[in-house]
Chain A
Amino acid sequence: MIAFWVLAPLMVIAALGVVLVRRAVHSALLLAVVMISLAVLYLTLEAPFLFAVQIIVYTGAILMLFLFVLMLVGVDAADSVVETIRGQRLLAITGGLVMGVLLVVVVAQISLGTMVGMGAANAGGNIEGLADLLFSRYVLSFEATAALLITAALGAMLLAHRERLEPKEGQRAMAARRMQEYGTSGRHLGPLPSPGVYARHNAVDTPALLPDGTPATDSVSRVLAARGTVRSAPALGDVEDVQRTLGDVGGISGGSGSATDTSAGGGYNTENPDTRPQGDDWPEGDE
């Protein structure tokens, strides 16, 4: 029972966390805590097979699936806390509480008596016992489960499949299109710039700097920009330091105000990451 009394409060807290935290990823991780704790409880309840299945299926497969989908979907990762349906939250909490209290009272009403324990049932091995039951008394349900799983797999494929309505763009067509775009709107013909490579900041989340000192938006992934996890380019700070030590070398001068703005922004325009920052935003010089 020690395991239970250690794990039970943990599980309740984690479960509350699943419901209460705002970020879905945190919810998923807290759910993993609940599930692994549950697996341990299965062990204490003498269900070793379910312990394994709980960890493999739930924690290993289902939760991973959740995380995958969160990665695909979870751009607006945080939930708004404003309740839109009038009275829903109050009623939900009241209903939940009443249900919980009623359930506890109902359970308390029943005198269950002493546990029999799994000693006899697990005498020939837990897995063997389960297999015995699955392939004898529950064989029909087992077969039905097989059908269910196949159907579910097919259904998921059908739902996730996106019908291609036009032929895939080949290399030649792509080259022609890009040439066309260059001709009409002057869009850069070559590959996108790689992210910034700096002595202190060298990562995919840091944009490269253009010759005029402005960050190249295209150099970081749009997804990172959308998530708001793009680091600010540290270059401008360095430029000021260099200016301070070397004095005015000419050619390169910086309006410190704009530089601070840029560095403090921490990210880029997330609305339209395709917009290329123009060089004339930068003041040419003030002497």
Chain B
Amino acid sequence: MDDVTPYIVLSTILFTIGSVGVLTRRNAIVVFMSVELMLNACNLALVAFAKQHGNLDGQVAAFFVMVVAAAEVVVGLAIIMTIFRTRRSASVDDASLLKY
């Protein structure tokens, strides 16, 4: 266990998959999951770098990301529910009225 690079590469791969998911999926909940995937990928990189540098700051940062992600999920899902309640749809393409 002498190199952090594999972790980082895994992190980038997960991040990329997550971003493609955000771009291609239309179900708002799946989009949200993809966002979570990207956040987790970042956390992995943070924790890996913490180990690389031998201090705990990276872990603290990852901790904060988790807290913020929790808050974000709570509000985001509430928004999705509200939209679903009024529009009977959870597709992100249906909420497209705010435009030119």
For chain A, the count of residues having a C-beta within 8 Å of the partner chain is 86
Tell me which of A31, A97, A104, A118 contacts B36 (CB under 8 A).
A31
Alpha-carbon separation in the docked complex, A41 to B25 (Å): 28
Q: Which residue of A lies closest to B51 (CB)?
A: A45
B24-44 at interface with A (beta carbon < 8 Å): 24-27, 29-30, 32-34, 36-37, 40, 43-44
Residue A182 at the B interface, CB < 8 A?
Answer: no
Alpha-carbon separation in the docked complex, A74 to B29 (Å): 9
Q: Report yes or no: B25 in contact with A79, Cβ–Cβ below 8 A.
A: yes
B1-32 at interface with A (beta carbon < 8 Å): 1-10, 12-21, 23-27, 29-30, 32
Q: Report yes or no: B12 in contact with A156, Cβ–Cβ below 8 A.
A: no
Q: Report yes or no: A41 in contact with B14, Cβ–Cβ below 8 A.
A: no
Tell me which of B17, B27, B29, B71 contacts A15 (CB under 8 A).
B17
A44-76 at interface with B (beta carbon < 8 Å): 44-47, 49-50, 53-54, 57-58, 61-62, 65-66, 69-70, 72-74, 76
Q: Report yes or no: A19 in contact with B6, Cβ–Cβ below 8 A.
A: no
Residue A172 at the B interface, CB < 8 A?
Answer: no
In this complex, which of A126, A130, A159 has the most chain B Cβ atoms within 10 angstroms of its Cβ?
Answer: A159
Residue A223 at the B interface, CB < 8 A?
Answer: no
Contacts A95-B23, A138-B60, A152-B72; A116 near B54 (Cβ below 8 A): yes
Tell me which of A1, A31, A134, A160 contacts B78 (CB under 8 A).
A160
Q: Report yes or no: B60 in contact with A104, Cβ–Cβ below 8 A.
A: no
Alpha-carbon separation in the docked complex, A83 to B93 (Å): 10
Tell me which of A16, A42, A104 contacts B9 (CB under 8 A).
A104
Tell me which of B15, B27, B44, B59 contacts A49 (CB under 8 A).
B59
Nearest-CB distance from A65 to chain B (Å)?
6
Name which of A85-93, A240-248, A259-267 contacts chain B.
A85-93
Counting residue pairs across A and B whose Cβ atoms lie within 8 Å, the total is 234
Q: Report yes or no: A162 in contact with B85, Cβ–Cβ below 8 A.
A: yes
Name which of A4-12, A203-211, A226-234, A270-278 contacts chain B.
A4-12
Q: Report yes or no: B7 in contact with A4, Cβ–Cβ below 8 A.
A: yes
Q: Report yes or no: B25 in contact with A42, Cβ–Cβ below 8 A.
A: no
Residue A103 at the B interface, CB < 8 A?
Answer: yes
Alpha-carbon separation in the docked complex, A271 to B77 (Å): 28
Nearest-CB distance from B25 to chain A (Å)?
7
Q: Report yes or no: B56 in contact with A121, Cβ–Cβ below 8 A.
A: yes
Q: Which residues of A contact B32 (CB under 8 A)?
A: 66
Residue A173 at the B interface, CB < 8 A?
Answer: no
Residue A117 at the B interface, CB < 8 A?
Answer: yes
Q: Report yes or no: A115 in contact with B73, Cβ–Cβ below 8 A.
A: no
In this complex, which of A45, A95, A120 has the most chain B Cβ atoms within 10 angstroms of its Cβ?
Answer: A45
Name which of A141-149, A191-199, A213-221, A250-258 contacts chain B.
A141-149
Alpha-carbon separation in the docked complex, A79 to B23 (Å): 14
A-B contact pairs, 28 of them (CB 8 A): A12-B10, A18-B33, A19-B24, A27-B30, A38-B40, A38-B43, A44-B1, A46-B51, A47-B59, A50-B59, A62-B70, A65-B73, A66-B73, A89-B24, A91-B23, A95-B23, A96-B16, A96-B19, A100-B16, A115-B1, A117-B51, A126-B56, A129-B56, A148-B67, A149-B67, A155-B74, A156-B74, A157-B78
Give me the interface of B with A, judged by CB distance under 8 Å. Answer: 1-10, 12-21, 23-27, 29-30, 32-34, 36-37, 40, 43-44, 47-48, 50-57, 59-60, 62-64, 66-75, 77-82, 84-85, 89-90, 93
